[in-house]
Structure 1
Amino acid sequence: MKAMGFTKFGSPEVLEPMELATPQAGEGEVRVRVKAAGVQPVDCAIRTGFRPQGVPVSLPHVTGGEFAGIVDQTGSGVTAFAPGDEVLGFRMQYTYAEYVVVPQEQLVRKPTAMPWEAAGGLSGAGQTALTALEELAGELGVRWIRSRRSAQRLAELVELYSLGQLRIHIRRAFPLSQAAEAHREMETGHGRGKIVLTLED
């Protein structure tokens, strides 16, 4: 499968096309053919050598933590999803790729009207923002918030989107092959909205 990753830490230029084995869904897991993957500041930090607590980073490495796509394989014991289902979800790394495998508990269904770019970029920023609102309610000041990601929290955001109460602004979408350019754009610190990578059929 196609992926964008790096074999050494450094500037956006270390991101390069990779050909990796296509992962297989194990028990309780779902394989998703990725249509869009969000770019987050932590992806850029990991690319430069940052190692978040609890996130194994070894080289070569494929970064990314949020995605949307179409289920194409399910492992034994999966009851919530079937091949052909449109979904969005999260995982700790490895989403800048044609396929991702995740536990079924890390996916929710994508609303038909939600564009792929919006779905691919919702999980990280959306769940972090929701966590921040919960954590900082009634408090003043700013502090680092580590998102408590869950399918339930993601489903709440999808419901808000479906009701027209949440809008997802996409700053720019790049093809997967231009991941380095997407990282350069993210690192400017300017602009608002999500940056996403898109994968062609």
Structure 2
Amino acid sequence: MRAMAFSTFGPPEVLRLTELVEPQAGASEVRVRIKAAGVMPYDYGVRSGWTLAGYTMTFPEIPGNEFAGIIDQVGEGVSGFSVGDEVLGFNMLKCYAEYVAVKSDQIVIKPENMPWEVAGGFSGNGQGAHLALTALGSLEGDTVLIHGAAGGLGTFAVQLAKLWGAATVIGTASESNHDYLRSLGAIPVSYGEGLVDRVRALAQGGVDAALDVAGPEALRASMELVKSKERIRTMVSFDLANELGIRPIIGTRTAARLAVLCDLYAQGKLHIHIRKVFPLDQAASAHREVESRHGRGKVVLTVN
């Protein structure tokens, strides 16, 4: 099969189109012929040398941790899925490829109204936002601050916060993305010097909870703005969070959580903007696009 893989850590250019042996569905697994795979900061972290806890890296390694496609093999002991089912799901790695074999508890049926490009990039950011906001506690009536609100994860977080009862959602983003945030129901505010004062002017009753998807400066601003650090979480600034005593987000991706998000999408309650779509062999360009960190919505690879 064709896959985009790397045999040494480094910049996007280490990703190369490679011919590898097709995986086979083992017991409790299905094999999926991938139609689309999402591109996330997680992926370029792995490519750059980030060590994954509990995982032994072997070269050539295939990045990619979210996918959508069509089941073409069903292993022994699998129930509830059949060859030909259209699904989306998640895996630690291996998704920038024509096929992936995963446990059947890592997939759900794709909603009929969900395009392949959306499905391929839905699982990672969607579940990440769900986990992070759950860690913040009840948002009913709150003013919630989301840094990096126009990105793939931020897009989910803004919408989920509104669905879960937040009275006000303030989102930081580049000025070019402010109209996009307004369309999602957030009040936009620009990054940079004076951010804390700008947020205070918008949230005169104070900020109740904050999620950082932007970086250390956003996390420091959250410490100044939020009444209790127990209601601050980060998806990116882990070392600083440890220094500041901010608790980590605990939890894992599950098919049950993904099914909840898919149901919201099917009902028209979640809207996902696809920023750019690249063919599989242009995964390096897709990584450069995501690493720019100022884009709107999701970057996706198309495969089969």
TM-score between both structures, scaled by the size of structure 1:
0.96
Judged with a 3 Å threshold, the aligned counterparts in structure 2 of structure 1 residues 174 and 146 are, in CA distance, closer, same or farther, namely farther
CA deviations over 1:53-100 (Å, ceiling 9, x no partner): 223322211011000000001011111111110000001100000000
Distance 2:48 2:132 in 1: 26
Which amino acid in the other structure matches residue 62 of structure 1?
I
Q: Is the 8 A contact 1:127 1:147 kept in 2?
A: no
Q: What residue number does 2:86 align with?
A: 86
Which structure's residues are more often helix, by fraction?
Answer: 2
Judged with a 3 Å threshold, the aligned counterparts in structure 2 of structure 1 residues 3 and 151 are, in CA distance, closer, same or farther, namely same
TM-superposed CA distance for 1:146, in Å, is: 6.1
Q: What residue number does 1:143 align with?
A: 234
Give the secondary-structure state (helix, strand or coil) at the position aligned to 2:128: helix
TM-superposed CA distance for 1:143, in Å, is: 2.4
Q: Is the 8 A contact 1:35 1:198 kept in 2?
A: yes
What runs of 5+ residues in structure 1 fail to find an aligned partner?
none
Determine if the alignment matches structure 1 residue 105 to structure 2 residue 105: yes
Q: Which has the higher contact order (CA 8 A, sep 6+)?
A: 1
Q: What residue number does 1:168 align with?
A: 272
TM-superposed CA distance for 1:180, in Å, is: 0.2
Which runs of structure 1 show a deviation greater than 3 angstroms over 4 or more consecutive aligned residues?
A: 144-147
CA deviations over 1:123-157 (Å, ceiling 9, x no partner): 00000000011001265333244662000000000
Distance 1:25 1:3 in 2: 17
Q: What residue number does 1:26 align with?
A: 26
Aligned residue pair count:
200
Give the secondary-structure state (helix, strand or coil) at the position aligned to 1:70: strand
Output the aligned Cα RMSD.
Answer: 1.2
Largest Rg, 1 or 2? 2
Which amino acid in the other structure matches residue 6 of structure 2?
F
Judged with a 3 Å threshold, the aligned counterparts in structure 2 of structure 1 residues 142 and 155 are, in CA distance, closer, same or farther, namely same
Give the secondary-structure state (helix, strand or coil) at the position aligned to 2:31: strand
Determine if the alignment matches structure 1 residue 181 to structure 2 residue 285: yes
Moved more, 15-24 or 47-56: 47-56
TM-superposed CA distance for 1:181, in Å, is: 0.1
Q: What residue number does 1:12 align with?
A: 12
Q: What residue number does 1:191 align with?
A: 295
Distance 1:56 1:194 in 2: 28
What runs of 5+ residues in structure 2 fail to find an aligned partner?
139-229, 236-248
TM-superposed CA distance for 1:186, in Å, is: 0.6
